[in-house]
Amino acid sequence: MDWTKIIWAVAIVAMILVLWPRAKQMMKDTPKAEKGDWQAVVLPLAFVAGFVILLIMLV
Amino acid sequence: MNRLDISAARPTESVLSTNKLIKNTYILLSMTLLFSAVTAAASVMLNVPGWTYMASIIGAFLLIWLVLPRTANSSTGLVVVFGITGLMGFGLGPILNMYLSMANGPQIVGTAMAGTGIIFLGLSGYALSSKRDFSFMGGFLVAGLLVVFMAILANLFIALPALQLAISAAVIMLMSGFILYDTSRMVNGGETNYIMATIGLYLNIYNIFIHLLSLLGALSGDD
């Protein structure tokens, strides 16, 4: 097996382990979305998705 | 209480310090992106080996985890930020050389750069002008990040091209969400340190660029 894959795997596991406590805390502390909050996110992200598809068609 | 009303009810000093934070963050972000471009150009010209990318990313993340939190409140933090971004830019050399060697490589790299810039400016501008509080996305984004890390880990060994494309698409969407989240944290007082704000936005831009490059390279049809 390629040695770089093993180093990448160790690095990614380390990233997950470092991120895990902070992620747990963030998931616990995140305020609940109010009415219309997700709509305000979905619209710009849909534009990003459409824009990326446009770029793929351009190259 | 409606979270939309928070910024409207804040005192003048708070608004002034928020404006200063946003200004300092965008100035530092511009400088670090420029510095990254210089180190990336240097590594392209030096034709550095493929493992440089891995070494640079690991080195940069060690600096982010171990050094930046201790120096972010001092001027040393600025040196560390330039160290991180310079290292990450230098790591781009082997990737850029790989794409530039393709028939339409310069077009793919140019499109990925321009696309990343437009996505960042559009989303950051939207978060700044709407002044919405996107803090409710925090849990969702960090959970998504963990899922992506696990998918990347799995794909190291199973190496499915379709999964690689799905990961790239997911990272672009996640980082777009993080741009909204990080920008709104600056506007709404969740982040008060411009060095930490800069590194967060820089990582979002860097990841969008890498994964947009990957998608364009894989789906351009000329590889």
For chain B, the domains span 10-219
Span B172-200, pLDDT tens digits: 999 999 999 999 999 998 899 999 999 99
Residue A1 — very low, low, confident or very high, per pLDDT cuts 50/70/90?
A: low
Q: Which of A35-39, B13-17, B112-116, B166-170 has the lowest mean pLDDT?
A: B13-17
pLDDT surpasses 70 at B223: no
Task: List chain A residues with CB under 8 Å of B51.
Answer: 4
DSSP letters, chain B, are --GGGTGGG--HHHHHHHHHHHHHHHHHHHHHHHHHHHHHHHHHHHT--THHHHHHHHHHHHIIIIIHHHHTTSTHHHHHHHHHHHHHHHHTHHHHHHHHTSTTHHHHHHHHHHHHHHHHHHHHHHHHHH----GGGHHHHHHHHHHHHHHHHHHHHH--HHHHHHHHHHHHHHHHHHHHHHHHHHHTTS---HHHHHHHHHHHHHHHHHHHHHHHHHHSS--
Alpha-carbon distance of B64 to B68, in angstroms, equals 5
- The residues in B 9-48 lying below 8 A from A, measured between CB atoms, are none
Alpha-carbon distance of B151 to B172, in angstroms, equals 15
Judged by CB atoms closer than 8 Å, whether chains meet at B119 and A51 is answered as: yes
Cα nearest neighbour of A42 on chain B: B177
Alpha-carbon distance of A21 to B117, in angstroms, equals 32
**ipTM of the complex model:** 0.93
Alpha-carbon distance of B179 to B121, in angstroms, equals 10
